[in-house]
Amino acid sequence: MNYLISPLIIMLAFALYGWLHSLLAASAAKEGARARFGEPLVKRGYRLFFNAVGVLTLLPVLALVFWLPDQHLYTVPPLLLPIFLGGQVLGLLVLAYSLAQTDVLDFIGLRQVGAPAMPPPLATGGVYAWVRHPLYLGSMLVLWLLPSMSANWLALVLSSSLYFVIGARFEEGKLEKFYGKAYRDYKARTPAFLPWPRKNG
């Protein structure tokens, strides 16, 4: 019975994590921070604060995966192991390339601490020419291609993937407001998650 309850607890914990993460990412949260702490401090520190909270609040969810009773589901046979590991390496490369394209220091929030960064240009080349959300794609490749899967890990993988899909929709709404027609055109010709050659026009 514990093996059925554990995944549900993990999914609930991840849902709470996702709710907090989305709440802090909302425009209302940033506006509230500006009103309380001032525009300069928010410009310099909010991104770093947001990421730090995201990492720290994810740690208890990961702890549940290891601490709660678990049940092994499968281990891939040796013949398929190179495919799974190769897919995970590909996912890591996609993550690294995506961060390199968008400035990893800006992504973390460290660049803004030194001086408020200018709004980045819309990334449409490189890996972004194939998918609109390469960070999510790379993460899902790493997670779904784990060579050994348990019930707890599957709960985490499912929760993460659902959050990526939902988060991408909210993220794209913000990008459309910020970049306007340029992003709408990019969205029309570039798939969200599954790599596909760029459409002409």
Q: pLDDT digits over 105-148, tens only?
A: 778 877 777 765 566 788 888 899 999 999 999 999 999 999 99
pLDDT digits (tens, 9 = 90+) for 4-43: 899 999 999 999 999 998 888 888 888 888 888 888 888 8
Distances (CA, A) of 130 to 117, 133, 134, 161: 27, 9, 8, 19
**Would you state the pLDDT for residue 161?**
96
Contact (Cβ atoms closer than 8 angstroms) between residue 130 and residue 198? yes
Question: Model-level pTM greater than 0.75?
Answer: yes
Q: Assess whether pLDDT exceeds 80 at residue 55.
A: yes
For residue 198, the model assigns a pLDDT of 54
pLDDT digits (tens, 9 = 90+) for 61-102: 999 999 999 999 999 999 999 999 999 999 999 999 998 888
Backbone angles phi, psi at 70, to 5 degrees: -135, 165
Nearest to residue 171, comparing CAs of 44, 15, 21?
21
90, 141 Cβ separation under 8 angstroms: yes
Sort 39 into a burial class: Cβ within 10 Å, 0-12 / 13-18 / 19+: exposed
CA 84 – CA 81 distance, rounded (Å): 5
